[in-house]
Chains A and B, each alone.
Chain A
Amino acid sequence: MSVLSRLPLWLRAGDTRPITEIEADVREELETHIAMLADENERCGMSAEQAYEEAVQRFGDTDRYTAECTQVHAGDRIMLQRIMLALVVLLIVAVGVLGWQATELGRGQQETQALLERNQEQMELIGQRLEAVAVEPTLNEKVEPAPVVMGDVTGNVFDASGGVVENAEVLVIVKTWPNSKFRMQTFSTKSDVQGRFALPAATPLNRKHSLLVSAVKNGYTLESSYKNDPGDVMQGISPYKFFLTEAVPLSLSIINEKEEPISGATLFVSERRTIERGDHLIYHNGSKPIWHTTDASGKASLAYGVKGDILEIAYSPPKSNKWYSREVLVPPEGEEFKLVADGDPSDDSTELLQ
């Protein structure tokens, strides 16, 4: 009890009755007091009415004192109840806000989910279409690329009069970009007795690819065809038709700085620039089938162009990786060119990559 009495008032249990009950109790007590005062007044000779009025006046504001006394007992509780009410309201508001946010979040998630699903469907559609048109799906790794379909490179080699050209070297360069990386492959074959050639499964049809196909035979003009195919619409490769014209032979000799002939030097025509029919390129890669070698006197006879063509001759001394190049304007027959293979290779030269 003594410990309890030292506690702050608001921590003590206090009056646990309902406030209305406390108030009624207090009011009865105060009215008793007034009644006693009135009794006293009456005993002193006042009329009942007068006695009561005087008693009320002497007592003071009954309502006020009732409220004060009630407050003494229940004041802390009223305050606590108000605090509790405020906290409850706050809690309800907080729960409401949280609930609303959760609902919004849930709706947002549903919307996001729906959006994702829609996106997924669209991506699948795009993926299916991509597969159908065989585009390398570099933009979206998630889309499984359609299997690569390889196509054959086929064709015929004719001469200018429509006769077949047998044993022409057919050089094929295939450029592809698998996984966004550049890749170059070389193939070669020869035309058969009927002038036909075929390189099975040489190039992907449903991927972006470039094809350089050259038909080369010494004595005939160097002809080539370069095609780019984005690979988005898969189409087969139409058979090639090369028409080779009889070429003007060039007498070439490879010499060193001292003008001594170099025998066993390698040379080939890497480019033929024509006046009217464009350029025809031979890549160093895969050029081996059309390599020539100089004879004991350092000479070789090459016929790959007609008069007016510019031929670029790539040549390399024996057992060397150094390549030189020289442009030669195809002259009338019989002119001899001396190609110097010494000193620094020209800027156009590249090391042969075998």
Chain B
Amino acid sequence: MAKKETNPLLQGSLDLLVLRTLEAGSKHGYGVARHIQLVTDDALKVEEGSLYPALHRLQRRGWVDSEWGVSESNRRAKYYKLTRQGRAQLKREVAAWEAMVAAVGKVLGEAKPNATLGRPSL
């Protein structure tokens, strides 16, 4: 998905970000991209196209659903929304992410007691 020269983004992380973004309500792909860009202060320098395989994969897994609608700029756009399974999956992924961050945090905390690590801002 992401090209080698760009900031690599783990597939799992991207899935988590997309699911989290859609938790608030349905969005088209462009909206999802803008939201992630906004909340991460443009930290994920990936090609925006790489978002789509992830979106379609989530849809294939039944975690998001999609339907064509009309955008605010009056364009035909495909809107994605979280399904019930998607919400459950989001919970599991958030829990797993927190557990991992906590574990990594503990390891890093031992080395640098003063370091402050918390949940990534989503």
* B-binding residues in A (CB < 8 A): 1-2, 4-5, 9, 14-15, 25-26, 28-30, 32-33, 35-37, 39, 58-62, 64-65, 68-69, 72-73
In the bound complex, residues from chain A placing their C-beta under 8 Å from that of B92 are none
B60 at the interface (CB under 8 A from A): yes
With both chains docked as a complex, state the minimum distance between the C-beta of A320 and any C-beta of chain B, in angstroms: 117
Tell me which residues from 31 to 55 in chain B have a Cβ below 8 Å from any Cβ of chain A: 33, 47-50, 52-53, 55
Q: Which 3 A-B pairs have the closest CB atoms?
A: A60-B47, A60-B49, A65-B49
Query: Are A5 and B85 touching (Cβ within 8 A)?
Result: yes
Contact A32/B61 with A59-B48, A64-B49, A69-B56 known, Cβ cut-off 8 Å: no
Docked Cα-Cα span, A145 to B49, in Å, equals 97
Contact A60/B75 with A1-B62, A2-B85, A5-B62 known, Cβ cut-off 8 Å: no
In the bound complex, residues from chain A placing their C-beta under 8 Å from that of B28 are 32-33
Docked Cα-Cα span, A59 to B47, in Å, equals 5
11 contacts between A and B (CB under 8 A): A9-B61, A29-B77, A30-B49, A30-B52, A32-B76, A32-B78, A60-B3, A61-B49, A68-B56, A72-B60, A73-B60
B91 at the interface (CB under 8 A from A): no
In the bound complex, residues from chain A placing their C-beta under 8 Å from that of B59 are 72
In the bound complex, residues from chain A placing their C-beta under 8 Å from that of B47 are 58-61
Instruction: Give per-residue flags for B52-77: 1 if the beta carbon is below 8 A from chain A beta carbons, else 0.
Output: 11011101111000000001010111
Query: Are B60 and A36 touching (Cβ within 8 A)?
Result: no
In the bound complex, residues from chain A placing their C-beta under 8 Å from that of B73 are 36, 39
Docked Cα-Cα span, A14 to B73, in Å, equals 31
Docked Cα-Cα span, A36 to B78, in Å, equals 12
Interface residues contributed by chain B, number (CB under 8 Å): 26
B1 at the interface (CB under 8 A from A): yes
Docked Cα-Cα span, A33 to B33, in Å, equals 9
Docked Cα-Cα span, A28 to B29, in Å, equals 12
Docked Cα-Cα span, A9 to B60, in Å, equals 8
In the bound complex, residues from chain A placing their C-beta under 8 Å from that of B62 are 1, 4-5
Docked Cα-Cα span, A114 to B120, in Å, equals 89
Give the most central of A4, A14, A15, A29: most B CB within 10 Å.
A29
CB nearest to B66 among chain A residues = A29
Query: Are A33 and B56 touching (Cβ within 8 A)?
Result: no
Query: Are A32 and B77 touching (Cβ within 8 A)?
Result: yes
CB nearest to A64 among chain B residues = B49
In the bound complex, residues from chain B placing their C-beta under 8 Å from that of A26 are 52, 56
Docked Cα-Cα span, A231 to B28, in Å, equals 111
Given pairs A28-B76, A64-B49, A68-B53, 8 additional interface contacts (CB within 8 A): A14-B60, A32-B75, A32-B78, A36-B71, A36-B75, A37-B30, A58-B48, A73-B60
